[in-house]
């Protein structure tokens, strides 16, 4: 049986970022995962760091997250590919033009540096986009990360800061007594901790149930498509006004197509399967936005499970009626803001005056 100051259950971007910040501030941290670091949503997501698809209220957090991603060599690792790109959000019809104006205006009010530009200006920024657009929204704060490298980069940084990582530790029971949490795994391992953080992604509801708390967490099965390598077909990160596309070309020539076209999946059953009509719809839209994509072939398709609360806003902060127990997750565009959200929760635990009232779990209890 081992002991720790703080046990974090779930080694995705949220748990790992919180762990790193706490360890940097001198706490003895143990990070537990039923698989290994960032192999859930945080390792299979599209890695898009765009303001065009972020919920308006979360823009201030996404901006801070974007800044952290752009400086990973200073606080995380050199072993992760991060690219800054211009972001264009395209409108093809008059209705979409109206939608783009409305959505960009709201995001701007929350601090996103987005401006509506003419078709001519959009084509100057990226000559590869469909020439039939009506207009576009431009944001220089955009880009992407190669999400499949997240686990390696975080594991290295966490080990450097003496975080104890327990992989293959599936938490099935949590007991609370005398100001300590006793955390038990499926295979009978035991860990005692003074503080507890739940960061189990799409399994947050299951982790909360271990403490007799009931909160509905929806599971969104998201599909992604990657093309074979091809010569340069685009310079920007592309999204569209109705929010159903995210598109960028990596340095190796492959193009990643996403945008929230759902597949089939269940967190409970740990199961995913593709929905072919949605793959086709997603690819059609991608080829419409960047016509040169019609020349490419699909190399691979995969899915990941994303967590969402009933109001699509995150849950971050203290768990009421427990001593020193916290939660973090269900964050829309959660990969973009994850490093910053983790830092915020760590600061709160370290006693700093951090306002997390927007994300209080009490709204669901
Ligand atoms: C396909 C897809 C594409 C996406 N694209 C983007 C994007 O382009 N940009 C963006 O900003 N966001 C994107 N997202 C959202 C983003 O990936 C998530 O918001 C974020 O990764 C969630 O991080 P997390 O740490 O909360 O969860 P996760 O990364 O899922 O981590 C949770 C961890 O908890 C572990 N765990 C669960 N239960 C237990 C247990 N009982 N015991 C121990 N460990 C347990 C799991 O093994 C897992 O490693 C996408 C999501 C998906 C699925």
Task: Judge contact between 360 and 317, C-beta under 8 A.
Answer: yes
Distance in angstroms (rounded) separating the CA atoms of residues 53 and 245: 9
pLDDT at 135: 98
The span from the CA of 110 to the CA of 317, in Å, is 22
Q: Does pTM top 0.75 for this prediction?
A: yes
In three-state form (DSSP H/G/I as H, E/B as E, the rest C), the secondary structure along 48-71 is ECCCCCCCHHHHHHHHHHHHHHCC
The confidence band for 79, taking pLDDT boundaries of 50, 70 and 90, is: confident
Between CA 190 and CA 155 the distance in angstroms is 22
* 330-365 confidence digits (pLDDT tens): 999 999 999 999 999 999 999 999 999 999 999 999
Per-residue pLDDT for 179 more than 80?
Answer: yes
Check residue 55 and give its pLDDT: 96
3-state secondary structure labels for all residues of 88-116:
EEEECCHHHHHHHHHHHHHHHHCCCCEEE
User: Shortest CA distance to 41 belongs to which of 247, 239, 165, 224?
Assistant: 224
User: pLDDT tens digits, residue range 35-63?
Assistant: 999 999 999 999 999 999 999 999 999 99
Task: Report pLDDT digits (tens) over 84-106.
Answer: 999 999 999 999 999 999 999 99
CA of 33 to the centre of ligand 1 (A): 12
Equal fold, 2-43+149-216+311-364 vs 85-140+218-308: no
Q: How many CB atoms lie within 10 A of CB 179?
A: 9
Other CB atoms within a 10 A radius of the CB of residue 246 amount to: 26
Residue closest via CA to ligand 1's atom 25 equals: 12
**7: Cβ–Cβ under 8 A, 6 or more apart, which residues?**
30, 32, 181, 183, 191, 193, 195, 196, 197
What is the pLDDT averaged over residues 313-317?
Answer: 98
Ligand 1 pocket test, pick from 16, 42, 148 with the greatest ligand atom count within 8 Å of Cβ, gives 42
Residues whose beta carbon lies within 6 Å of some atom of ligand 1:
9-15, 32-35, 39-42, 44-48, 169-171, 199-203, 207, 222, 224, 246, 258, 304-306, 329, 331, 333-336, 338
pLDDT at 243: 87
Residue-by-residue DSSP string for 231-274: S---SSEEEETTS--EEEE-TTS-EEEES--B-EEETTTTEEE-
Q: Please choose from 36, 40, 69 the residue to mutate so as to test ligand 1's pocket, defined by most ligand atoms within 8 A of CB.
A: 40
In the chain, what percentage of residues exceed pLDDT 70? 100
Residue nearest to atom 37 of ligand 1 (CA): 200
pLDDT reported for residue 83: 97
Give the nearest ligand 1 atom to 48 CA.
8
**CA-nearest residue, atom 21 of ligand 1:** 42
Question: Ligand 1: which of 50, 334, 340, 346 to mutate, judged by most atoms within 8 Å of the beta carbon?
Answer: 334
Q: What are the domain boundaries of the chain? A: 2-43+149-216+311-364, 85-140+218-308
* CATH classification number, 85-140+218-308, choose in 1.10.10.2520, 3.40.50.970, 3.10.310.30, 3.30.9.10: 3.30.9.10
Regarding the domain with residue range 2-43+149-216+311-364, which homologous superfamily does it belong to in the CATH classification?
FAD/NAD(P)-binding domain (3.50.50.60)
- Atom 18 in ligand 1: residue holding the nearest Cα: 334
């Amino acid at each position: 049986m081992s002991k720790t100051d703080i046990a974090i259950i779930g080694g995705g971007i949220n748990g790992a970022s919180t762990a790193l910040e706490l360890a940097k501030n001198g706490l003895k941290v143990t990070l537990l995962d039923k698989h290994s670091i960032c192999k859930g949503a945080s390792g299979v997501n599209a890695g898009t760091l765009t303001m065009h698809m972020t919920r308006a209220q979360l823009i201030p957090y996404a901006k801070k997250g974007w800044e952290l991603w752009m400086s990973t060599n200073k606080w995380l690792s050199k072993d992760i590919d991060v690219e800054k790109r211009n972001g264009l959000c395209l409108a093809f019809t008059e209705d979409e033009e109206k939608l783009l104006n409305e959505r960009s205006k709201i995001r701007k009010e929350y601090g996103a540096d987005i401006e509506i530009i003419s078709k001519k200006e959009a084509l100057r920024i990226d000559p590869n986009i469909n020439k039939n657009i009506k207009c576009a929204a431009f944001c220089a704060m955009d880009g992407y990360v190669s999400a499949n490298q997240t686990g390696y980069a975080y594991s290295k940084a966490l080990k450097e800061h003496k975080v104890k990582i327990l992989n293959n530790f599936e938490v099935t029971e949590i007991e609370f007594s005398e100001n300590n949490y006793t955390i038990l795994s499926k295979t009978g391992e035991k860990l005692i901790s003074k503080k507890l953080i739940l960061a189990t992604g799409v399994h947050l509801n299951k982790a909360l149930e271990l403490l007799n708390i009931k909160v509905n967490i929806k599971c969104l099965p998201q599909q992604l498509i990657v093309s074979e390598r091809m010569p340069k077909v685009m310079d920007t990160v592309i999204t569209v006004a109705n929010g159903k596309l995210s598109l960028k070309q990596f340095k190796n020539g492959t193009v990643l197509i996403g945008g929230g076209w759902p597949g089939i999946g269940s967190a409970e059953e740990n199961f995913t399967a593709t929905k072919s009509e949605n793959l086709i719809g997603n690819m059609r839209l991608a080829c419409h936005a960047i016509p040169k994509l019609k020349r490419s072939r699909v190399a691979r398709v995969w899915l990941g499970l994303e967590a969402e609360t009933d109001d699509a806003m995150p849950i971050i902060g203290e768990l009421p009626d427990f001593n020193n127990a916290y939660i973090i997750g269900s964050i829309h565009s959660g990969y973009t803001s994850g490093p910053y959200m983790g830092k915020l929760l760590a600061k709160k635990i370290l006693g700093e005056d951090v306002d997390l009232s927007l994300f209080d779990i009490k709204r669901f209890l």
